[in-house]
Amino acid sequence: MTTDHLRTRGPARLAWLALLPWLWLPLPAAADTLDAILAALSLDAPAEMAFREVRQDPMLQSEDRQSGRIAFEPPDTLIRETDGRRGEHVRIEGRELTLTRGDSVREIRLDEQPGLEAFAGLFRSLLQGDREALEAGFEVELDGDLEAWELELRPRDRALRRAIIEITIRGREGEIRRMDTWESGNRTSRMHFEAPASGDPSSERD
Amino acid sequence: MSSLPSRAAVTLWLAGLLIAALVLALRGEMATDLGRFMPDPGAEAGLPLDVDGGPGARQLLLAIEGGDAARRAAASDRLAEALRGDPAVAGIHNGRGAFDPEALEAILDLRYLLSPAVTPERFSRDHLDTAFAERRADLSSAVPAMPRELIPRDPTGELLELGERLRDPFGDATRGQHGVWTDPAGERALLVVRIAPEAAGLEEQTELLQRVDREFTALAADDLNLLQAGPPAIAVESRERIRAEVTAFSLAASLALAVLLLVVFRHPHPVWLAAIPLGSGILAGAAVVTLVFGHLHGIALAFGITVLGVALDYPLHLFAHAGRRAAARVAGELWPALVLGAGSTALVYALMAATSFPGMAQLGLFVLTGILVAAAVTRWVLPALLPRGARERGLPEPRLPLPSLRPRGQRAGLGLLLVAVIAALAVLLSRDPFPWNDQLTALNPVPEEAIALDRELRDALGLPDVRHLVLIRGESADAVLQAAHALDEPLEALRDAGAITGFDHPARILPDIVTQRERQAALPERDTLAEHVERAVRDHGFQAEAFTPFLDDVERSREMDPVTPDSLPDGPLRQALEPLLLAPGEHSAAGHEQAWIGQVLLRGLSDAGAVSQRLDARAPAGGAEIGLVDLRATTEAMVADFRTAALTRLALAALAVTALLWLLTRDPGRSLRIVTAVAAGLLLTTASLLLLGIELTLFHLIALMLVIGLGLDYAVFLGRPGAMEPDEARRTRRSVTLCALSTGLVFALLALSSLPVLRALGLTVALGVVFSYVAALLLARPVNPSPTPEAPGPGPGLLRSRKNPTP
C-alpha cells in the first residue's frame, strides 16, 4: 500500500521537491550575482568607455544621435563628454559640476540637475562597487548571471521618479554594454558602450 | 478683640484682594514682547511698522557644527524634513530650492504676468529663434538649462527668470559641496526657520525651540552640535536667564530679609506680616494696570515690584515704632508721615504714568497703585492682622545698633555732605556729553557671545539688514506695489553704486496691475506667435505640434485677470510675498490702521545716507509714502526723547512734591530739609555711578526713581514732629535704619546678578540707600534735649542711642 502511494504520488512529490530550491534560492543567488557583478565592475584606477547614444524625443522630428566618452577617476570624479555640433564636457566632482560648452565654462550645482545627479550616482555606485549606495538610490532587479546580466533600476526618490521611470543596464562580467533610459513624456535614450580602456582621461582632455 | 472699623477694614481689604485676583484670573494677560513695552519705532518715524519689530523678527537661525561636511549636510536635510510639517513653522530653508509640482504649476500659470522679462521684443522672431536654439541644445545636453518636460510650455524660459527670485527670498548663503547652505568657511551648515504668525508668542516660540532641539537630538548625530540664533532664540534665552536669575534672587533676598527681621525682632510675626502690604500692593497694581491697559507687561511687572520695594518700609516703620504699644494706635500716630512719604512717592509715579511710553505708563500706574494700597493696608489692616497677644501687648523692641550723633558730629557731617554734594554736582556737570546710553541692547540680558553668533549667522546667510528698511505706505495693495515697482530703478542704481548689495520688495514677487497689463499687452496674438514658432520649429528640427502648450499658455495669459494679493495661490509665491506686504490688520501702524504696508529689505547696506537721499529725490508714486527707517536710530531717539520727558517730569515732580510737603506739613523748614535730603541722596548716587564709569540707561533712571521714594521715606520719617522727642526719635531712627538696612541688603544682593539690567538696578539702589539714609540723618532737625538722666551730655541737641529704654 505504501509503495502504491509512493508510486502514484512520487512524481508530484518530486515536482514539489524540485520547486523548493526555486522558492528559496533566488534571493541569495541573485544577491551573490549582484555582488559578483559589482565586484567585476568596480574600478580602482581611472577608466574610460566610449559610447553612442540614440535619443527618442516626441518633441523632435528625428532621433538625436550623439557619441562621446564617460570617464571615471576614483574615488568619485565622473566625466561625460560628447562630440559634434552640440558637444559638451561635463565634469562632476563630489557635488561640483562643471559644464564646458565651446568656450563657456559654468559651475552648476548638481542638485539643480536631478537627472544628471541620478545618472552620476548610478555610475559612481556601479564603478565603486557600492551595492549599498546602489540599492539606496534604486529598486534593483537582476536577471541573468555574471556572463550576461541585466539590471532593472527604478529610482526610489519620488521627485526623481517623475522624470526617470526606469533604467535598464545590460552587461557581461565587468563590462557595461548597453543602457536604456525611459523618461517621462515618452522620451527614451539608448547608450551603447565599448569596452573600457584604462588610462588617464584628464590628460587626454588637456 | 478687633474693633468694628478694623474689622470693616479687613473685610474691605479681603474683598479688594478677591476682586484683584478675579480681574487677573479672568482678564489677565502677560505680555513679554519688547514691542508692547516700547513705542512703535516705525510709527515714530512717520511710517508704521509691523509690531514684531522689523525684518527677520520671526526668523530662527540654526547652525549645525561638528562632524564632517557630509554629516552636517545630511543632518540639515533631515532636520528640515522633520520640521517641515510643524504648524508653528511657516517655512524652513536650508539652501535646497526645489519646488513641488503643485507650486511649480501655480508659478507656471502666472509666469507671463509675473516675469520681468516679458517685453514685446522677447516675442520677436529673432529672440524666439535664439530661445528655440537653446531649447534644442537642452534636449541634447546632459545639463539642460531647463528641465525637458517644461520645454513645450515655456520655451522662452520665464520660469528660469522667476525661479531666481523665488528660490530663496530668505537667504543667500554659500552653498557647500553637499548642496546645503554653509558659512563661508564651510564649517557649519545653516538653516533659516520662518515662524508662522500664529506662533509669534514667546510661549509658542519657546516650545518650537524645544521641538527643534528634540528633533535634532532624535537624529542621533552625537558628533554634531546645534546652535540657535535669531530674535526668537535671543528672546527665549533672555527670558530663561531672567527667570532663573530672578528666582534665585527672590529666594536669596527673601531668606536674607527673613533672617534680618528675625534677628532684629526675635519674633516670627514681623517676618510674614511685613510681606502683606507689599503683596497687596503688587496684586492691586497688577489688577489696575490690567483693567486700564488690557494687559500687563512682564517688564513693567518686574520693575514695578522692584520699585514697590519701598512699600516694605511701611510695615517695618510700624513694627519698629510699636514697641510694647498697641499697633493700631502706633499706626495712627505714624499715619501723617506715611501719607507724606507714600503720597509724595505716588505723585512722582503719577507723573510717570502720564507718558506716551506704554511700558513706562504701566510701570507708573502699577507703582502708584501699589504704594497707595500698601500704605493703606499698613495703616488699617496690618494692626488688625496681628495676633491678639501682639496686638495688645505690642511687639518686642527691635534690637539694632544705632548711629549716635552729637550736634557737633552732625554739623561736621553736614559740612562733609555739603562738600560731597558740591563735588557730585561738579562730576555731573563736567560730563559733557552726559553719558547716557540709549541703546536698548545695552540692557540685553543675553551674553555677548549669543549676540555675536547671531550677527555671524546673519552675515553668512546674507540676510537683509535688520537695522534699516524702506517702508512704503499706501491706501491699497496696488498703490504699494506701484510704489515698490518704481523703486526698482533707484535701488538698482544704489546697488551699482555699491551703497547696497541687494534688495527685496513686494513688487519683485507680485507686480502691480498696470505692470501686469503692460506685460499682457506685450504678448503676441496667437496667429502671430504661431507663425514665428512654426519657422523656428522647422529650423531646429522640432515636431510641428511640439509647442502647442506654449501657444495655449500665451493666449490664456493675454486674457487672464491680473493677479492680486488676494488671488495669489498658496505656495512659494504667497510665502515670498507675505512678509513683504502687510494688509491692514496685519500690522500695528498707529493712526494708519487702514493702510497697506510694503517693506523693502536691503542687503549689505553700507551707505544709508545715499539710500535716503536717492529715495527722497523720488516723487512717491500712486499716492504712497516712502521712507527709509533706521530702526536703531529711531529706537535710540525714542529712548532719548523719553529720557528727556522723564527728566522734565522729574523736575516737575520735584516742584509738586515740595508743594505737597509744604501743604501737608505747613512747615517750610521741614519741607526744605526733606527735599534737600532727597536731592543730596540722588546727586551723590548719580555721581558715584558716573565715577564708576557706568553709562546711564533707562533702567538706572527707574532705579533712581526708587531712590527718590526711599529718600522721601527716610527724610519724612526722621523729620516727623513727633520724632523730636528723644524716645520717639530713637524709635524713628531705629525704624529708618531697619528700613535702610533691609532695602540695602536686598539690592546689594541684586547688584551681584550677572544680568546687566538687574545689576544696574541693584547697584544704583544700594548706593542710593546709603546716600539717602546718611543725607536724611544729617539733615534731620536736631532732637530736643533729653529729659532722662541717662543721657548726660553737653547742650540741648544731644542725641544718642540707648540700649534699653523701656522698663
Closest in A58, A96, A108 to B177, CB measured: A96
Contact in structure between B91 and B170 (CB atoms under 8 Å):
yes
Closest in A59, A115, A163 to B543, CB measured: A59
How high is the pLDDT of residue B804? 43
Give first-to-last CA distance, chain B, whole Å. Answer: 26
Mean pLDDT by 10 residues, chain B (807 residues): 71 92 84 61 43 60 88 89 86 74 83 90 89 89 84 89 68 70 88 81 85 90 88 81 80 88 85 90 93 83 80 88 80 88 87 78 91 93 82 73 74 90 92 79 69 84 78 89 90 90 88 94 92 87 89 94 89 80 72 80 84 76 75 77 81 86 86 91 94 87 86 88 77 88 89 82 93 92 57 38 39
Q: How many CB pairs under 8 A join A and B?
A: 67
How high is the pLDDT of residue B283? 93
Cβ-based neighbour number of residue A31 at 10 Å: 12
Distance CA B59, CA B194 (A): 5
Range A97-116 average pLDDT: 81
Where residue B59 falls (left for φ over 0; alpha for ψ -120 to 50; beta otherwise) is: beta
More confident site: A43 or B554: B554
How high is the pLDDT of residue B797? 36
Closest in B140, B543, B546 to A86, CB measured: B140
CB contact under 8 A, A59 and B542: yes
Residue showing cell 501699589? B370
Nearest CA in chain A to B95: A111
For B346, residues 6+ apart whose C-beta sits below 8 A from its C-beta are B367, B368, B371, B372
Joined grid coordinates for residue B314: 511701611
Joined grid coordinates for residue A45: 584606477
CA distance B293 to chain A (A): 53
Q: How many Cα atoms are found within 13 Å in the side-chain-facing hemisphere of B686?
A: 29
Residue from B136, B143, B539, B540 whose CB has the most chain A CBs within 10 Å, to mutate? B143
Nearest CA in chain B to A93: B177
DSSP state letters, B745-795:
HHHHHHTT-SSHHHHHHHHHHHHHHHHHHHHHHHHSPPPPPP-STT---SS
Contacts of A55 in chain B (CB under 8 A): 139-140
pTM as predicted: 0.67
CB contact under 8 A, B139 and A57: yes
Coil vs helix vs strand at A96: strand
Where residue A204 falls (left for φ over 0; alpha for ψ -120 to 50; beta otherwise) is: alpha
Closest in A111, A116, A183 to B143, CB measured: A116
Cis peptide upstream of residue B620 (ω within 30 degrees of 0): no
Cβ-based neighbour number of residue B431 at 10 Å: 14
CB contact under 8 A, A163 and B140: no
Cis peptide upstream of residue A75 (ω within 30 degrees of 0): yes
Q: Is the ipTM of this complex over 0.90?
A: no
Give A26-31 contacts, CB < 8 A, sequence gap 24+: A30/A142
Please say if the pLDDT value at position A10 is more than 60. no
Residue from A81, A89, A96, A111 whose CB has the most chain B CBs within 10 Å, to mutate? A111
Joined grid coordinates for residue B247: 528666582
Using a CB–CB cutoff of 8 Å, tell me whether B164 touches chain A: no
Distance CA B682, CA B776 (A): 12
Closest C-alpha to B265, from B798, B735, B753, B786: B735
Using a CB–CB cutoff of 8 Å, tell me whether B139 touches chain A: yes
Q: Which stretch of DSSP H or E encloses residue B489?
A: helix B477-497
Distance CA B428, CA B374 (A): 35
Cβ-based neighbour number of residue B378 at 10 Å: 29
Distance CA B581, CA B578 (A): 6
Contact in structure between B456 and B718 (CB atoms under 8 Å):
no
For B648, residues 6+ apart whose C-beta sits below 8 A from its C-beta are none
Q: Which stretch of DSSP H or E encloses residue A78?
A: strand A77-82
CB contact under 8 A, A61 and B101: no
Buried b (16+ CB within 10 A) or exposed e, A144-177: eebeebebebbbebeebeebbebbbbbbbebebb
How high is the pLDDT of residue B333? 86
Contact in structure between B205 and B89 (CB atoms under 8 Å):
no
Main-chain phi, psi angles of A154, to 5 degrees: -120, 130
Instruction: Go through the domains of chain B in sequence order and give each one's CATH number.
Output: 1-31+266-399 (1.20.1640.10), 57-95+176-229 (3.30.70.1430), 96-167+533-562 (no CATH), 409-438+667-787+797-807 (1.20.1640.10)
Range A16-42 average pLDDT: 64
Q: How far is CA B730 from CA B401, B440, B638, B723, B742, in A?
A: 11, 45, 48, 8, 18
Question: Is B571 buried (19+), middle (13-18) or exposed (0-12) by CB count in 10 A?
Answer: middle
Distance CA B602, CA A124 (A): 43
Residues of chain A above pLDDT 70, percent: 79
Using a CB–CB cutoff of 8 Å, tell me whether A90 touches chain B: yes
Contacts of B98 in chain A (CB under 8 A): 111, 159
CB contact under 8 A, B142 and A116: yes
CB contact under 8 A, B542 and A66: no
Closest in B142, B177, B542 to A94, CB measured: B177
Joined grid coordinates for residue B510: 507680485
DSSP state letters, B37-67:
TS--HHHHTTS---TTTSTTTTEEEEEEEES
Nearest CA in chain A to B146: A113
Distance CA B644, CA B506 (A): 38
CA distance A100 to chain B (A): 10
CA distance A17 to chain B (A): 48
Distance CA B116, CA B507 (A): 10
Distance CA B741, CA B738 (A): 5
DSSP class of residue A129 equals T
DSSP state letters, B570-630:
TTHHHHHHTTTEE-TTSS--TT-TT-EEEEEEEES---HHHHHHHHHTSPPGGG-EEEEEE
Contacts of B147 in chain A (CB under 8 A): 163
* Residue count of chain B: 807
CB contact under 8 A, B142 and A90: yes
Place A24 in a pLDDT band, splitting at 50, 70 and 90: very low
Using a CB–CB cutoff of 8 Å, tell me whether A161 touches chain B: no
Closest in A61, A119, A163 to B542, CB measured: A61
How high is the pLDDT of residue A185? 84
CA distance A183 to chain B (A): 10
From chain A residues 110-129, the ones with a CB under 8 A of any chain B CB are: 110-111, 113, 115-116, 119
Distance CA B648, CA B354 (A): 12
| Superfamily for domain range A29-205 | Lipoprotein localisation LolA/LolB/LppX (2.50.20.10)
Using a CB–CB cutoff of 8 Å, tell me whether A104 touches chain B: no
How high is the pLDDT of residue B547? 92
Coil vs helix vs strand at B693: coil
How high is the pLDDT of residue B227? 92
Range A163-179 average pLDDT: 91
Q: What pairing do the DSSP bridges indicate for beta strands B188-195 and B89-93?
A: antiparallel
From chain A residues 175-194, the ones with a CB under 8 A of any chain B CB are: 183-185, 187
Please say if the pLDDT value at position A193 is more than 70. yes
Q: What pairing do the DSSP bridges indicate for beta strands B296-297 and B30-31?
A: parallel
| Spans of all domains in chain A | 29-205
DSSP state letters, A29-70:
HHHHHHHHHHHHH--SS-EEEEEEEEEE-TTBSS-EEEEEEE
Buried b (16+ CB within 10 A) or exposed e, B673-705: bbbbbbbbbbbbbbbbbbeeebebbbbbbbbbb
How high is the pLDDT of residue B63? 93
Main-chain phi, psi angles of B643, to 5 degrees: -60, -45
